[in-house]
Amino acid sequence: MPDERVTVRTESDIVVARQLGRALASRLGFSATDLTLVATAISEVARNIVAYAKSGEIVVSLADDGSRQGIRIMANDEGPGIRDIAQAMQPGYSSSDSLGLGLPGTRRMMDEFQISSDVGKGTRITMTKWKP
Amino acid sequence: MEVPILKQGDYLIASIQSALTDADLLRLRDELAERVGRFRSRGVIVDVTVLDVMDSFASRTLSAIAHMTKLRGAETVIVGIQPEVAFAMVQLGLTLAGVETALDLEEGLAFLERKTKRAGNRAG
């Protein structure tokens, strides 16, 4: 299954990105609950791109570790980056009105969640949901 | 995509028809705040049955709608949050605290009847 990508610049791209993720997760046979978790998680990371980086990309792809399948979502931007990732991952932390509860809640919805960021260069989030 | 707003007696019913962008949600908020005054509405129902995602922005905007219309003298009730959506909201930490919710349109109307007719009953 080829990777699918969405350029995220405006808030309407948020809807496009989460629908793309939901469609791929649906083809993989995820439950209705998991489809909603995946779509909501994509919505939140896409929202971060629009709020902070102005422009970035969401890539959804098949994840396969040999024994199980899942969906992997990458959110990459070349925005200002996050100075203190540990702080950004604190529950309730938000530095912008448009971010909401942000990353800690998103991490709770997924099975795996990695974030790295370079100030002045951008932020990369990779998150995976495995099929039970 | 614009959300149709129906006037039914003392109530306004906003029936969301498809996925909404942030701009659509903000337009709905402003429309409802304005129409509550124009139609002197006592209650508002926002039907979110078709929404398959309720993220932090949607949740915050629905909260804002409920609180703004309250300040304008009308009760708002959110109806139709789907079970999967409710689960995702809880995972994300979104509880719509202080916002009235009901299972569906029917329950929402019954809620508004109880809530907005109470003053009349006391007088009668």
pLDDT of residue B71: 94
Are the beta carbons of A83 and A119 closer than 8 angstroms? yes
pLDDT of residue A96: 42
What distance in Å separates the CA atoms of residue A29 and residue A39, rounded to the nearest whole number? 14
Per-residue pLDDT of A46-92, as tens digits, reads 999 998 888 999 999 999 999 999 999 999 999 888 888 888 887 76
Per-residue pLDDT of B5-45, as tens digits, reads 999 999 999 999 999 999 999 999 999 999 999 999 999 99
Expressed as residue numbers, the domain containing A85 is 4-130
Does A32 contact B84 at a Cβ distance shorter than 8 Å?
yes
Per-residue pLDDT of B39-69, as tens digits, reads 999 999 999 999 999 998 999 999 999 999 9
Kindly list the structural domains of chain B, giving each domain's residue range(s) and its CATH number in brackets, ordered by start: 5-117 (3.30.750.24)
Angle, in degrees to the nearest 10, between helices A32-48 and B56-71:
80
The number of distinct structural domains making up chain A is 1
Are the beta carbons of B3 and B17 closer than 8 angstroms? yes
Contacts of B38 by beta carbon, 8 Å cutoff, 6+ apart: none
From the CA of B122, how many Å to the nearest CA of chain A? 41
Per-residue pLDDT of A23-48, as tens digits, reads 999 999 999 999 999 999 999 999 99
A117: pLDDT strictly greater than 70: yes
Sheet with A56-64, side-by-side order of all strands? A4-8, A56-64, A69-77, A122-130, A112-118
Which member of B21, B54, B56 has the closest CB to residue A101?
Answer: B56
Q: What are B97-105's contacts with CB under 8 Å, separation 24+?
A: B97/B63, B98/B63, B98/B66, B98/B67, B99/B62, B99/B63, B99/B66, B99/B67, B100/B66, B100/B75, B100/B76, B101/B77, B102/B77, B102/B78, B103/B79, B104/B49, B104/B79, B104/B80, B105/B13, B105/B45, B105/B47, B105/B79, B105/B80
CATH number of the domain where residue A98 is located: 3.30.565.10
- Residues of chain B contacting A91 with CB distance shorter than 8 Å: 93
Structure tokens at B119: 């003053």
Which member of A43, A91, A99 has the closest CB to residue B53?
Answer: A43
Mean pLDDT of B90-109: 94
What is the value of ipTM here, to two decimals?
0.88
Mutate which of A14, A30, A36, A129 to disrupt the B interface (most B C-beta within 10 Å)?
A: A36
A107: pLDDT strictly greater than 50: yes
